[in-house]
Structure 1
Amino acid sequence: MKWTRIPLGPIQTNAYILEDDSGSALIVDPGAEAEKLISLIKEKNVKPLAILLTHAHFDHIGALDLVREEWNLPVYLHEEEKDWLQNPSLNGSARLLGQGITAKQADVLIEKDQKVKIGSFQFDIFHTPGHSPGSVSYYFQDEGIVLSGDALFKQGIGRTDLTGGSYDTLLKSIHEQLLTLPEPTIVLSGHGPETDIQTEMDENPFLNGFSL
């Protein structure tokens, strides 16, 4: 499986295109600049199968409807944030932008940690709340990558001062759901460059000294 990171919008939120050997693809967090993202997907000549949302903050959903409508794609989102796509107060756009960003409701609501298969893509979904109540991470074991959204960054963690955020909950999620993955696992975050589990265990200043 190949992956491509595309920073989009004023906050440079990372969208990802995941491609398998057959030319199928998954799209993760289409946050902004829909035309740019759609053009890139078409240039790659892949067939998107679904959109995976790590959570429903405005900077991760700004291009959602245009991208989903281009290929009539199902959208996956945790049930804790099922109302956020249509509510600017919940998704943060009212507070942080002063204007409302909305999208249509998700098609598939994630209710629990589970294994999922879409086409040839097989992955685990882990509930990793703290940055937001419905944050999830997508773990592709065979490829050794995890898409952590805004839970875990290179040398950082997600902010917890937005609706439903909790610092203690976020640290618990990271330690129980992410740092338990194999140390070479590559972490693809919602902002910034990739890292790996071992590096963050050893060097992330927010994680050192935390105990459950």
Structure 2
Amino acid sequence: MDKQPNENSTENSLLRFMPMTSITSGTGIQVRNDVYYYTDQIVNICFIGTPGIGDWILIDAGMPKAASEIKSVAVDRFGRESKPAAIILTHGHFDHVGGLMDLVEEWEVPVFAHELEIPFLTGEKSYPEPDPTVEGGLVAKASRLFPNEPIDLGNSVQALPADGSVPGLEDWKWIHTPGHSPGHVSFFREEDTALISGDACITVKQDSFYNVLMQSPELNGPPRYLTTDWDAAWDSVKKLAALKPSLIVSGHGPTMEDEELINGLEELVENFGKVAIPDYGKYVDKNRGLH
């Protein structure tokens, strides 16, 4: 049975500051003229749009308590009083929606997510609990402290268009990449083969405290402690590898580009059962021959 939210759950967990950081926290990098990503503690947030030219879009909303920092970055990049035309989510886990409630209240902009994520964003359903027993390092062990309760955006959130288009970003398309969460999506622009992967695949070993702190670049599958469907996760990485992206901005870790990225994705697909899927954990099905 799904754990039902209570009136204090958001205040008690989703709005509680999480003492996690990395050496890149508080820094931003422009990787295309209109693609800028900013690292909030351990997670990346994307600002899509060219400063001074038209609207811009925010992808994901960081860790708990991130709203003021996100607004500050928006002012620096797009000017005072600027706000996005929309906020679009790769998924609704706590580290991607931490500043969302405050941002929506102040900016009064629409939020878009895959239809399968909507129940987690309207207070209807909690995510499965993190798995601190999963094979992995210190971050995995600490995941018992990570909140899984939903937020409630009410009518502010709506489903992404079924045709794969991205509101406000006509040259991008969204791709359903489930596994880490049921409605996880990634974003791809064919023109320059730029990929925003969210947590479908990431560029740091997220269960290792040292790797997260130092942001050691390494192409990986999704974070182990919150991934509940490894078959789907593998299929999602196959989808992304087939795109042959020249640039990836993932939910966690530094960017990767060109040959390093393409080769890394091919190796990840080939060895996913060995390097991505944990040897044990409550969401690992050992009877399906995945290893």
TM-score by length of 1: 0.82
Task: Give the 3-state SS of the residue equivalent to 1:76 in structure 2.
Answer: strand
**CA–CA distance in 1 between the matches of 2:258 and 2:162?**
23
Task: State the AA in 1 paired with 2:43.
Answer: T
Provide the residue aligned with 1:192 in structure 2. Answer: 253
**CA–CA distance in 2 between the matches of 1:110 and 1:158?**
22
Task: State the AA in 1 paired with 2:108.
Answer: N
Q: Is the 8 A contact 1:139 1:145 kept in 2?
A: yes
Q: Is the 8 A contact 1:183 1:198 kept in 2?
A: no
Provide the residue aligned with 2:126 in structure 1. Answer: 89
Question: Given the superposition, is the C-alpha separation of residues 168 and 111 from structure 1 closer, same or farther in structure 2, using an over 3 Å criterion?
Answer: farther
**CA–CA distance in 2 between the matches of 1:54 and 1:34?**
17
Q: Indicate the structure (1 or 2) with the bigger Cα radius of gyration.
A: 2
Q: Flag structure 1 segments of 5+ consecutive residues without an equivalent.
A: none
Question: Given the superposition, is the C-alpha separation of residues 92 and 18 from structure 1 closer, same or farther in structure 2, using an over 3 Å criterion?
Answer: farther
Question: Given the superposition, is the C-alpha separation of residues 27 and 156 from structure 1 closer, same or farther in structure 2, using an over 3 Å criterion?
Answer: same
Provide the residue aligned with 1:31 in structure 2. Answer: 62
Equivalent pairs counted in the alignment come to 205
Deviation of 1:103 (Å): 3.9
Identity %, equivalent residues = 29
RMSD across aligned positions (CA): 2.8
**CA–CA distance in 1 between the matches of 2:89 and 2:114?**
8
Provide the residue aligned with 2:164 in structure 1. Answer: 114
Question: Given the superposition, is the C-alpha separation of residues 141 and 199 from structure 1 closer, same or farther in structure 2, using an over 3 Å criterion?
Answer: same
Provide the residue aligned with 1:6 in structure 2. Answer: 38
Task: State the AA in 1 paired with 2:113.
Answer: L
TM-score by length of 2: 0.62
**CA–CA distance in 1 between the matches of 2:148 and 2:116?**
23
Provide the residue aligned with 2:230 in structure 1. Answer: 167
Higher helix share: 2
Deviation of 1:38 (Å): 0.5
Q: Is the 8 A contact 1:79 1:134 kept in 2?
A: yes
Q: Is the 8 A contact 2:119 2:125 kept in 1?
A: no
Higher strand share: 1
Q: Is the 8 A contact 1:52 1:76 kept in 2?
A: yes
| CA deviation string 1:26-63 (max 9, x = no partner) | 10111231101101102221541110100010110010
